[in-house]
Homo-oligomer: A and B are copies of this chain.
Amino acid sequence: MTSVEELKLRVRELENELIKCKQKRCTAIPRIDKMSAEVVDSNPYSRLMALKRMGIVEDYEKIRTFTVAVVGVGGVGSVTAEMLTRCGIGKVIQTSHYYINISFYHSFQPNASDGQCPSVQHALTINPDVQFETHNYNITTMDNFAHFMDRISHGALQDGKAVDLVLSCVDNFEARMAINTACNELSQIWMESGVSENAVSGHIQLIIPGETACFACAPPLVVAANIDEKTLKREGVCAASLPTTMGVVAGILVQNVLKYLLKFGTVSHYLGYNAMQDFFPTMAMKANPTCDDRHCRKRQDVYKKKEAERPKKVVEQAVEEVVVHEENDWGIELVSEQTDQELQAASGPVPDLPEGITVAYTIPDKETGTSEGETVEETEQSLEELMAQMRTM
């Protein structure tokens, strides 16, 4: 037995045999046809179904109809897949560049528990009601990318449908860009996740093609400068990893997956995690009209058209306002508190400023600076005097 095909077949055979063996040995949990809210020790869904009674989720059972693709099964990805499984998701499509074995789970990451057991075998012993589809390949090669695109668009529980969400849990930009390209082309909503090299910060991000910034809209410098990131990695050096950081990032990721799929709470557009200070910054990034990805730009056009056709509502005003600053290289948009007139007025009287630099404080327009068009007389009083006057009001 020496040919690659024969060996691949043998690997698949052995993996299946091992799954069966593990199921026999570890699993005492029977498959459950219908989720029940009954509070008995033998019902593993009772506490999830309690979310309905508590008024949090309207229809928790719906979780079983959803399919989520998890790309990358490392620190964040393995915990993500495990959490989805515990939540009773319908189907998980897992892809990983590496074979999922002990060598992959450095630092006693989740699933290292199983020694050489693949992550999926572990997940199956947690909840046999979840369906799994796994692909051990690198999605950035052409053939695999085509296959990956096909599985995203046709891999859902209902045959031939697209998955409900793609989760990026990869550890390199090349793979992120591949997911980004695929999702822009397919108009597939996805979530990005990441943990810093020093393992003490991370983030999650919701990407709705055409509506929110995609990965290419504001790319990291390494990507924008077209540097091969492999050249930045040194022999004998690996990134740090903390089970705690991975748990928090996977936790906020899957929590937002649940909120998105089951329609409760507010789905975060971007949520950061700074472990050193326990700081969790949030922000929202709009799509970049000059994004390098042509599918992204196409999605933006479709989105704008759709938005324009929609009847205007008060709640939508914040979304509709499009502010574009084309001065910067990446076309990143910043929504300013100052109006363009204010900026012009500000840069007017101040001399000797290099191009592109404006003063920090601007001179407001006399008309707009007052209420109801009243004019204000210049004052001789100091700021302190005015402040003191206000306090006496």
Contact = CB atoms under 8 A, between A and B. Distances in A.
Q: Which of A54, A110, A115, A243 has the most CB of B within 10 A?
A: A243
Given A114-B26, A276-B266, A278-B282, A371 B390 contact: no
Given A245-B251, A379-B392, A107 B385 contact: no
Contacts of A117: 17, 26
B386 A103 contact: no
Q: Which of A15, A99, A366 has the most CB of B within 10 A?
A: A99
A125 B136 contact: no
A300 interface: no
Contacts of A259: 275-276
A324 interface: no
Contacts of A308: none
A341 B27 CA distance: 70
A329 B239 CA distance: 52
Contacts of A335: none
Given A42-B103, A106-B47, A250-B247, A378 B392 contact: yes
Contacts of A20: 115
B125 A109 contact: no
A55 interface: yes
Interface in A108-146: 108-110, 112-117, 122, 125-127, 136
A351 interface: no
A252 B275 CA distance: 8
Contact of A278 (B199, B244, B245, B266): B266
Interface string A229-255: 000000011111111110110111011
A51 interface: yes
A219 interface: no
A108 B79 contact: no
A53 B198 CA distance: 9
A180 interface: no
B379 A389 contact: yes
Contacts of A276: 259, 264-266
Copies of this chain, count = 2
Contacts of A21: 18, 21-22, 25
Contact of A108 (B8, B87, B98): B87
A268 to B, nearest CB: 5
A241 B47 contact: yes
Nearest to A362: B391
Contacts of A379: 389, 392
Q: Which of A17, A117, A239 has the most CB of B within 10 A?
A: A17
B51 A102 contact: no
A240 B17 contact: no
A260 B152 CA distance: 43
A284 interface: no
Query: Which 9 pairs from chain A and chain B are nearest by CB?
Result: A41-B103, A265-B276, A47-B107, A47-B241, A28-B115, A248-B251, A247-B251, A86-B108, A50-B240
Given A1-B98, A48-B108, 19 more contacts: A1-B136, A11-B14, A17-B115, A39-B237, A41-B103, A43-B106, A44-B105, A50-B240, A51-B199, A54-B197, A56-B199, A83-B244, A88-B108, A108-B126, A242-B255, A374-B385, A376-B385, A378-B392, A383-B390
Interface of A: 1-4, 7-8, 10-11, 13-18, 20-22, 24-29, 39, 41-48, 50-51, 53-56, 79, 82-83, 85-88, 98-99, 101-110, 112-117, 122, 125-127, 136, 197-200, 236-245, 247-248, 250-252, 254-256, 258-259, 264-266, 268, 271, 275-278, 280, 282, 363-364, 366, 369-371, 374, 376-379, 381, 383-386, 388-393
